[in-house]
Amino acid sequence: MFDFLEGYDLLGAFWVTVKLTALSAVGSLIWGTVLAGMRVGPVPLMRGFGTAYVNIVRNIPLTVIIVFTSLGLFQTLGMDLGSEEFATINFRLSVLGLTAYTAAFVCEALRSGINTVPIGQAEAARAIGLSFNQVLRLIILPQAFRSVVAPLANVLIALTKNTTVAAAIGVAEAALLMKEMIENEAQLILISAVFAFGFICLTLPTGLILGWVSKKVAVKR
Amino acid sequence: MTSVLYDAPGPRAKRRNILYSIGFLAVFALVVWWLVTKLNEKNQLDWVKWKPFFTDSRPWETYIWPGLESTLTAAGYAMVIALPLGALFGIARLSDHLAVRIPSGTVVEFFRAIPVLILMIFANAAYSEFTNVSSDDRPLYAVVTGLVLYNASVLAEIVRAGIQSLPKGQTEAAYAIGLRKGQTMRAILLPQSVTAMLPAIVSQLVVIVKDTALGGAMLTFSELLASVRPMSAAYGANTIACFTIVAVIFVAINFTLTTFASWLEARLRRAKKSTGAVLPPAAVAGTAATGAGGGV
């Protein structure tokens, strides 16, 4: 029944999806945290930059960003991100695009987490003479991170699904393989079921595990 | 402008802030300068490449307006179909009957776990195999179908959260005056929850508008993003200029919607038209209100 799968590297395609997700998740977590730091910081210029970045990037379709990295950054401006192979370049470009886009959502999630930390915590920290950097690093962010595990899990799940957009610039991940298989084989329903199942296997456990973690680490107040 | 995270700046902090600003500006200027040199090297800043958009109405009439129209048409259809469907499934998930609750819950969770692009690719192939929709209409049908399946399930969660945010006393009072279950839902719960969910629904529109671009990139749907290629071919490889125009249009539409949603939320909070909590716009890829979700 599943012999149509032969000749296709199904696991390989999903492995690319996982790699895209993992690399962009790490990248967007770092860049998103920096952006959140800028948005709540005391320097007006950085606050303005953070706000502008989030509001602009969040409202551009991810597809536009990903296609732009290929047509604009690579083909027009010649940024090859240190590789000569097409497959590697496109992979790296989509990680770049996914990171730039997802960071805006990580930043917003973190900022809402910062708002859940009681004012007294920051006031007490300032009262014992900590600077803004110390307040943020030692008091606020550790508590904020613990309260935003659930929203960050949602961002991660959305990111996992969003990696399919990389198919638009020819990264050999799950959605592209599905399109190719549908064109070649006469098994529409089965092929779709296999890919749907694959994505359910990726997203549902992530949600369940991180949901459990978020209850575990949440600061009881 | 003071925040609880830092004091109102004194003389030293003011000096330090200026120093930080200068440092940040230097890095920012460096990046911009590098970008401008890069762009200049490839002649992307030449006025010839940007001129058509400012002095000529043809690129707008031939490429941008039709593209924008397709984008908004698909988003409009998707919203209009997904909203009642989502409401239906949201209410079904709250049903007292297991036979209604479990299947509708499964459907909603299933379509939320799958990327919307996968749904679109499937719909596209399904229309060509099982129906006789003409190949010209197929991309639009596929995009709308994918968007409806995904967004109806997200809207179902919003509706469910909206109804659940109402205090239990509302239902109890309705039963006490002798309303039946259907009447309670129709006359008491839904009207109040609509108020609560309005901001979240408006911000879901942003997700729908953004997702239409997938059809342009993968399914030959001639929407706004798809107009970049023919446009840059027609006006002399002005890729950067075309992308800038398209991005600005998307940002303008979506930023208006996002701002409207936040304004609506603040207004509804103050107006207290509902006994439930007003759901915040789910602009952050799936907030607590909508559960797992978000969108492209």
pLDDT digits (tens, 9 = 90+) for A194-218: 999 999 999 999 989 998 999 899 8
pLDDT above 90 covers a percentage of chain B that reads: 57
pLDDT interval class at B278 (50, 70, 90): confident
Report the mean per-residue pLDDT for chain A.
91
Give me the amino acid identity at A200: I
Coil, helix or strand for B6? Answer: strand
Amino acid A79: pLDDT: 85
Burial pattern B64-91, b for ≥16 Cβ within 10 A else e, equals: beebbebbeebbebbbebbbebbbebbb
Smallest CA-to-CA distance from B90 within B147, B47, B152 is with B152
| pLDDT at residue B290 is higher than 50 | no
B5, B21, B28: residue with CB nearest A135: B5
CA triple A203-B112-B100, angle to 5 deg: 120
Of B9-13, B115-119, B139-143, B276-280, which range is least confident?
A: B276-280
Contacts of B63 by beta carbon, 8 Å cutoff, 6+ apart: B227, B230, B231, B234
Contact A21, A163 (CB under 8 A): yes
pLDDT at residue number A41: 87
- B10 lies within 8 A of chain A by CB: no
Identify which of B222, B207, B228 has the alpha carbon closest to the alpha carbon of residue B53: B228
B245 — contact with chain A (CB < 8 Å)?
Answer: no
The count of residues in chain B is: 296
| Cβ contact A58–B258 (<8 Å) | yes
Residue B2's pLDDT band (cuts 50, 70, 90): low
Q: In which band, very low, low, confident or very high, does the pLDDT at B5 lie, cut at 50, 70 and 90?
A: confident
Q: What is the ipTM of this complex?
A: 0.91
The dihedral region occupied by A172, where left means phi > 0, alpha psi between -120 and 50, and beta the remainder, is beta
pLDDT the model gives residue A101: 96
DSSP secondary structure letter of residue A165: G
CATH topology of domain A3-217: MetI-like fold (1.10.3720)
CA distance B108 to B90: 9
Which residues have C-beta within 8 Å of that of residue B246, sequence separation ≥ 6? A64, B64, B67, B224, B225, B227, B228
Q: Does the CB of B210 have a partner CB in chain A at under 8 Å?
A: yes
**Which domains, ranges and CATH numbers included, belong to chain B?**
52-271 (1.10.3720.10)
Per-residue confidence band for A132, with pLDDT thresholds at 50, 70 and 90: confident
User: Does A63 contact B216 at a Cβ distance shorter than 8 Å?
Assistant: yes
Closest CA to B248 of B226, B223, B222, B225: B225
Residues B142 and B119: their CA atoms lie apart, in Å, by: 8
- Mean per-residue pLDDT, B55-78: 91
pTM, two decimals, is: 0.91
Contacts of A51 (CB under 8 A, 6+ apart): A39
Give CA–CA dist B283/B287, Å, rounded.
8
What band does B282 get if pLDDT is binned at 50, 70 and 90?
low
As a whole number, mean pLDDT of residues B222-249 equals 90
What are A155's two structure tokens? Answer: 């961002």
Distance between B91 CA and the closest CA of chain A, angstroms: 23
Tell me what pLDDT residue B72 has: 95
Beta-bridge mates of residue B6: B3
B150 touches chain A (CB under 8 A): no
Report whether pLDDT(B44) > 70: yes
Asked if the Cβ–Cβ distance from A154 to B240 is below 8 Å, we say: no
Q: Contact at 8 Å (CB) between B152 and B89?
A: yes
DSSP state of A220: P
Rounded percentage of chain A residues whose pLDDT exceeds 70: 100
Tell me how far apart the alpha carbons of residues B284 and A103 are, in angstroms, rounded to a whole number: 11
Domain borders along chain A are 3-217
Beta-carbon contacts of residue B25 (< 8 Å; ≥ 6 apart): A45
Q: Return d(Cα A218, Cα B82) in angstroms, integer.
A: 35
Q: Computed from CA positions of residues B61, B64, B67, B72, in that sequence, does the dihedral angle turn out positive or negative? A: negative
B4 to A122: CB separation less than 8 angstroms, yes or no: yes
B114-150 pLDDT, tens digit per residue, is 999 999 999 999 999 999 988 889 999 999 999 999 9
Q: Above pLDDT 90, what percent of chain A? A: 64
Contacts of A161 in chain B (CB under 8 A): 114-116, 296
Predicted confidence band of residue B236 (pLDDT cuts 50, 70, 90):
confident
Residue B59 pLDDT greater than 90, yes or no? no
Portion of chain B with pLDDT greater than 70, in percent: 94
Q: At residue B225, does pLDDT exceed 70?
A: yes
Distance CA A24, CA A58 (A): 16
User: Which of A64, A132, A155 is closest, CB to CB, to B285?
Assistant: A155
Q: Is the pLDDT of residue A77 over 60?
A: yes
- Indicate whether A90 pLDDT > 50: yes
Chain A interface mutation, best of B121, B209, B249, highest count of A Cβ atoms under 10 Å: B121
Distance CA B258, CA B206 (A): 7
Q: Which residues contact B55 (CB under 8 A, 6 or more apart)?
A: none
B69-81 pLDDT per residue, tens: 999 999 999 999 9
Q: Which residues of A touch B116 (CB under 8 A)?
A: 161
Q: Bigger pLDDT: B207 or B48? A: B207
Confidence of residue B184 (pLDDT cuts 50, 70, 90): very high
Report chain B's mean pLDDT, rounded to a whole number: 88
Which of chain A's residues have a Cβ under 8 Å away from the Cβ of B125? 182, 188, 192
Which pLDDT belongs to residue A36?
Answer: 94
pLDDT at B287: 36
Supply the DSSP symbol for A218.
S
Instruction: Please tell me the distance from the alpha carbon of residue A36 to that of residue A114, in angstroms, as a whole number.
Output: 9
